[in-house]
Chain A
Amino acid sequence: MESFTTLTGIAIPFGRAHVDTDVIMSARWLKHVSRTGLGPGAFEALRQDPDNIFDSARNRGAPILIAGPNFGCGSSREHACWALADLGIRCVIAPDFADIFAGNAVKNGILLVALPADDVARLMRIAETMPVTVDLYAQTVTAGDVSVGFTVDAFRRRCLLEGLDEIDLTLAEKARIDRFESDRTTHRAWALRMPTVPHAKQRDAQSNRTDEAC
């Protein structure tokens, strides 16, 4: 994964609240089977408008997006993060983020900065005319003469700073997982034993059970 340390660039003052992942990446783009090339579909419905905020001469390719509360709500589609990354976005600043989206973002090297709504509003105004600097070491966002601190989950911060792959981290814990699995197989045998499920038609022949609701 690409690491994230510091970043300076144009921040798109988008500002919209409750931006769901359907808006970031609509259904037809979910038929793609690779992680790349989704940028053209990002915010597709909004970008039908020739004067949209994403494609202005100033904002096109900008690395920072400023949005309203509950950014990334709805569907778990990681395509939303791939699309943002492909659009060039490496950092989103907003009052808060949806949980699944937040987990997806970090795995794609995208830093999410949660700030109080007042600070987001101030940055929105300044970002109209000034570049914004995000420093993950110092955990600050700076624009013009405004500088605000932010906190980020310690584990996610380390993954971003070092560009760590979570699967590599977990595979290094194989001995612990083996031990847990072995214990669970002993103490909760039923939980890890998947019966061989006969085909529905064979089942119907074997029993008269119906799916009566309880």
Chain B
Amino acid sequence: MGEVTPHPRTLYDKLWDEHVVHSREDGVDLLWIDRHLVHEVSSPQAFEGLRQAGRTLRRPDLTLAVADHNVPTTDRHLPIADAESALQVGLLESNAREFGVRHLGMTDADQGIVHVIGPELGFTLPGLTLVCGDSHTATHGALGALAFGIGTSEIEHVLATQTLLLRRSRTLRVELVGSLPAGVSAKDIALALIGRIGAGGGTGHVIEYVGEAVEALSIEARMTLCNMAIEAGARSGLIAPDEKTFAYVKGRPGAPTGAAWDAALDFWRSLPSDAGATYDRSVSIDASTLAPMVTWGTSPEQVIAIDGKVPDPAAWHDPDQIAAARNALAYMGLEAGRPITGLAIQNVFIGSCTNSRIEDLRAAAEVIRGRTVSPSVRQALVVPGSGAVRRQAEAEGLDRLFIDAGFSWREPGCSMCLGMNPDRVPPGERCASTSNRNFVGRQGPGARTHLVSPAMAAAAALTGVLTDVREMMA
């Protein structure tokens, strides 16, 4: 913690103040944006808008384009079979060329999910503002960058001006005391928090995660935690940069070097919230009490511990929540009161911007080692988040381990998270998924998603049913 200062500020305040170009009288600030990640789904209309207005990019050099949502995860040497997907991916490339933006194509060795490659390439750095037309941009807050998702009109605004017109958010301090038990991961913290404060609990706020359980997390685990801030309604999640952060960043292709590194480090060390800084709200969770979590419904807040039972909608008082729970049970084909363990799943997805980094794959591999996927599981995918993750996993032999166990080892992309590419969950089938959203139809029309950690997804793949991974680790 820093020394007590006359006007103690939070990490969020410091990041915000650093980037204010101009404060308007109505309380809206014009905020400078340091980095802009662009993908193929949310950008075509933004580039078209620029073209129609005859506008150019203010800082194409601070912008990076990569296709991830539509890309198939097999047969990458072939053209994309789906004509609309091919058009979007092609438009990203031609727009990038026309407007002078660096573009990572489908066969580029650095290609991957925007939120995996940003940190990996050192495009994301502590102390910066970073935006992307994707709500999971909160991920990058794990490095102490102010990062948030934007819509297409805002993409166009950033491309044209390198700024955004925004009002400062309120702050929510989430403290995680204690230490995580074995078999419980950052994903479980994220799900438990959403269960506690609700899917709209962080609306209007930016979350700063603090406490010993957060400090103990690796940088990749911190990305998983921040990634799901948006599922609690918070546009950004933040973790103060520390020595782990600096070690992670150092030497990455986009990281500063030499004297610039020293200058950056001085600045980064000034970022943690000051002693005495105040937050609009605070929540505290004892990490040592957490268990592996699994969602039972169609909102990430509809979540229980793996040793729990599917709740009875009548248990709520709020009529909106009762109705939501009834709708969710009907969609999910579940009865109130049954244990969530033992529920048969037909699909397993290990991947997405939440859980597709090397540590996620190692955690799944650790559970799988020497065992095989249950014959009742029809699809079990492992989809690394980037070319670099894939190469690293292959260097460690994880690809062989997954393939020998009966998994399909894929090329990087968003894959089965969102139903925009060929990887889908068939209607009515269940999926144990390491992704971030269990919304109606998210993984394909009629698909039933159960959000879990990588270790829990691996356990479900082996048994064919939702399983407490802690029992398999004994």
Task: Determine if A96 and B220 form an interchain contact, defined as CB atoms under 8 angstroms apart.
Answer: no
Interface pair B320/A69, CB less than 8 Å apart:
yes
B175 adjacent to chain A (CB < 8 Å): no
A165 to B233, CA, bound (A): 27
What number of residue pairs across chains A and B have CB atoms under 8 A from each other? 231
How many chain A residues touch B (CB < 8 A): the figure is: 70
Q: A27-B420, A153-B167, A214-B247 are in contact. Are A199 and B109 (CB under 8 A)?
A: yes
A23 to B109, CA, bound (A): 35
- Are the CB atoms of B151 and A173 closer together than 8 Å? no
Interface assignment of A138: CB less than 8 Å from any CB of chain B: no
In angstroms, how far is the closest chain B Cβ from the Cβ of A182?
A: 11
CB–CB B21/A176 < 8 A: yes
Rank and list the top 4 A-B pairs by shortest CB-CB distance, nearest first: A70-B200, A200-B109, A104-B151, A190-B256
Q: Contact between B244 and A214 (Cβ–Cβ < 8 Å)? A: yes
Given contacts A34-B45, A203-B253, A209-B251, contact A166 B233 (CB under 8 A): no
A167 is contacted by which of B134, B156, B219 (Cβ under 8 Å)? B156
Contacts of B218 in A (CB 8 A): 213-214
- Cβ-defined contact, A76 with B109, below 8 A: no
Q: What would 24 A/B residue contacts be, using CB atoms closer than 8 Å?
A: A23-B441, A27-B420, A32-B84, A33-B91, A73-B200, A75-B135, A78-B151, A99-B204, A104-B153, A107-B154, A166-B157, A167-B53, A167-B161, A171-B160, A176-B21, A177-B32, A177-B58, A177-B163, A180-B32, A181-B162, A188-B263, A194-B61, A211-B392, A214-B247
Once bound together, how far apart are the Cα atoms of A34 and B48, in whole Å?
Answer: 8
Q: Which residues of A contact B280 (CB under 8 A)?
A: none
Complex Cα distance A100/B42, Å? Answer: 13
Q: Is the CB of A81 within 8 A of B162?
A: no
Residues in B neighbouring A27, C-beta threshold 8 A: 418-420, 441-442
* Bound Cα distance from A200 to B53, whole angstroms: 36
Q: Are B321 and A17 in contact (CB under 8 A)?
A: yes
Q: Can you list, as one digit per residue, whether each of A144-156 has a CB less than 8 Å from chain B (1) or not (0)?
A: 0000000001110
A208 → B minimal CB distance (Å): 11
Q: 0/1 per residue, B317-331, Cβ < 8 Å to A? A: 000110110000000
Q: Chain B contacts of A200 at CB under 8 A?
A: 108-110, 387-388
Residues of A within 8 A of B167 (CB): 153, 155
Check A103 against B160 for contact (C-beta < 8 Å).
no
A203–B200 CA distance with the chains assembled, in angstroms: 43
Closest to B45 in A: A35
Choose, from B125-133, B177-185, B284-292, B375-383, the stretch at the interface. Answer: B125-133
Q: Chain B, interface size: which category?
A: 35 or more
Docked Cα-Cα span, A202 to B74, in Å, equals: 25
How far apart are B298's CB and chain A's nearest CB, in angstroms?
Answer: 9
Contact assessment for A210 and B392 in the assembled complex, using a CB-CB cutoff below 8 Å: yes
Q: A176 — nearest CB in chain B belongs to which residue?
A: B22
Nearest chain A residue, comparing its CB with the CB of B22: A176
B474 within 8 A of A: no
The reply on B26 being an interface residue by CB < 8 A is yes
Instruction: Tell whether A70 pairs with B439 under 8 Å between CB atoms, given A100-B150, A108-B153.
Output: no
Our pick among A32, A34, A45, A192 for the contact of B445 (Cβ within 8 Å) is A45
Distance (Å) between the CB of B52 and the closest chain A CB? 11
Question: Within residues 114 to 150 of chain B, which ones have a CB less than 8 A from any CB in chain A?
Answer: 120-121, 123, 125, 127-128, 133-135, 148-150
Smallest CB–CB gap between A136 and chain B, Å? 16
* Complexed CA–CA distance, A115 and B87 (Å): 42
Say whether A57 faces chain B, with CB atoms less than 8 Å apart. Answer: no
**Interface code A183-209, partner B: CB below 8 Å = 1, 0 otherwise?**
010001111111101111101000001
